[in-house]
Amino acid sequence: MKLYGFGQSRSFRCLWALEEAGLPYEYVNTKLRTEAEDPESAKHPSYLELNRQGKVPTLTDGDLVLTESLAILNYVARSAPESGLLPYDSMKAYARIDELNSFVLAELEQPLWSKGKHWFALPEEHRIPQMFETAKFEFQKAVNTLDHLLGDGEYAIGKRFTLVDIMLAHTFNWAIRFEFDVPDHYRALRDRHYERPAAQRAMAIVS
């Protein structure tokens, strides 16, 4: 497997999963917001052949190419079932995993990327700084809902670490970096999971 990524972007959750899974892989640091002439740039024609959006992550495995982080997490987890990232459990457990991952992507993460786009990613003429307060409101609403979706256990699903925990910890780390108001119990969740050896190894790669 080969993972193209950059720093603590969404690609980090994929790198973390690979470390948790113990699968052999190659990590390719891919530069964002650089000129297309740079061979390491996400705008370079060779990279755009893999990912038309010029974003990260991208995972290749033989002739398979995946460009969505959750799809990559699922693929990594299914490639290493012994890792427990996607536990072979009941249909109810699978449903909970799907619900929580969908919620993270659609609700919890959405205001973070909205702020990011209008903060630095979009061309200046398309940025609307006034939407920062809207993003703050939407994030708080999502956090309040998450309080009702999660139990009070150490992990999101049962008594084991799964890909949902990667999604949550990475998203709250993103929220903290983007200066959102993250409740103490979710900061503690981030800290606890980022202390895992696999997360530390992944962080060392991108640092």
Task: Enter the pTM of the model.
Answer: 0.96
CATH class of 91-203: mainly alpha
Residue range 2-84, CATH number? 3.40.30.10
**8 Å CB contact between 31 and 40:** yes
pLDDT per position as a tens digit, 116-139: 999 999 999 999 999 999 999 999
Map out the domains of the chain as residue ranges. 2-84, 91-203
Q: How many Cα neighbours within 13 Å face the side chain of 113?
A: 10
| Gyration radius of the chain's alpha carbons | 17
Q: For residue range 44-80, what is the model confidence (pLDDT) as tens digits?
A: 999 999 999 999 999 999 999 999 999 999 999 999 9
